[in-house]
């Protein structure tokens, strides 16, 4: 089984991915992780990727896909895998399609977790972190007992630069321009299911689980 999980920042992909791989016994594959691991392990592909990364350049799509392909041959992928946030572009999706048959995989389903932009902004900009112990909070979903004070250690809470309104809007725009076209790409191939990500965590997972049960 090979599942692709799509969704903008703040859609809850990480939370749902954790539940999916646990229930379905799938390997979890996120490109950022496998790029770092390939570089650390000094594989042939990892050394190639490092050359680009050391120069501050993006790793070419063909090389990223080859690293994903190599990862799919690992023993923990025997029952299948979940690709979280990959492919990121239609170009990557085309390359992925070309290499999957070489490792005995085909895409079973693409799940697109969709959340209203206003909700995404609220989720992302509402996050706060303790400057002392690193505990995480959210102004709406998990507020501290005392505003801007950590429940656990009394430290000051702050907003990370990644969670500022300006940065969040920029991240969402990048998703719209680069990754959202994948929705149509996979819809045209009858591989995509839309998931209502505005619901609570359990309801979102129920939608996903119902779809995977039918594969």
Q: Which of 69, 71, 109, 127 is catalytic?
A: 127
Concerning whether 50 is annotated as a catalytic residue, the answer is: no
Cis peptide, bond prior to residue 87, ω within 30 of zero? yes
Domain residue spans of the chain = 2-115+179-213
Looking at the chain, the whole-number percentage of residues with pLDDT higher than 70 is 100
**DSSP 3-state percent helix, strand, coil across the chain (nearest 5):** 50, 15, 30
Q: Which of 160, 176, 184, 189 is catalytic?
A: 160
C-alpha distances out from residue 158 to 62, 129, 144, 145, Å: 39, 5, 12, 15
Topology given in CATH for the domain delimited by 2-115+179-213: Rossmann fold (3.40.50)
pLDDT at 56 over 90: no
Concerning whether 88 is annotated as a catalytic residue, the answer is: yes
Taken as a whole, the chain contains a residue count of 215
Concerning whether 127 is annotated as a catalytic residue, the answer is: yes
152-178 pLDDT, tens digit per residue, is 999 999 999 999 999 999 999 999 999
pLDDT at 195 over 90: yes
60-69 pLDDT, tens digit per residue, is 999 999 999 9
Q: Among residues 180, 132, 120, which one has the least CA distance to residue 156?
A: 132
Concerning whether 123 is annotated as a catalytic residue, the answer is: no
* Cβ–Cβ under 8 Å, residues 113 and 6: yes
95-150 pLDDT, tens digit per residue, is 999 999 999 999 999 999 999 999 999 999 999 999 999 999 999 999 999 999 99
């Amino acid at each position: 089984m090979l599942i692709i999980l799509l969704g903008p920042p703040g859609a809850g992909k990480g939370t749902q991915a954790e539940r999916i791989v646990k229930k379905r016994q799938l390997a979890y594959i996120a490109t950022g992780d496998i790029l770092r691991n390939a570089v650390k392990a000094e594989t042939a592909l990892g050394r190639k990727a490092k050359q680009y990364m050391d120069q501050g350049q993006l790793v070419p799509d063909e090389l990223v896909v080859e690293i994903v392909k190599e990862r799919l041959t690992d023993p923990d992928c025997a029952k299948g895998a979940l690709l979280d946030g990959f492919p990121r572009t239609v170009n990557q999706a085309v390359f992925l399609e070309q290499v999957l048959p070489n490792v005995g995989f085909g895409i079973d389903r693409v799940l697109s977790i969709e959340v209203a932009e206003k909700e995404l902004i609220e989720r992302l900009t509402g996050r706060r972190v303790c400057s002392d112990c690193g505990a995480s909070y959210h102004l709406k979903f998990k507020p501290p007992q005392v505003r801007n004070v950590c429940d656990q250690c009394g430290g000051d809470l702050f907003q990370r630069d990644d969670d500022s309104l300006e940065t969040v809007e920029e991240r969402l725009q990048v998703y719209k321009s680069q990754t959202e076209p994948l929705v149509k790409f996979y819809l045209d191939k009858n591989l995509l299911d839309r998931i209502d990500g505005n619901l609570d965590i359990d309801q979102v997972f129920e939608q996903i689980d119902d779809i995977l049960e039918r594969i």
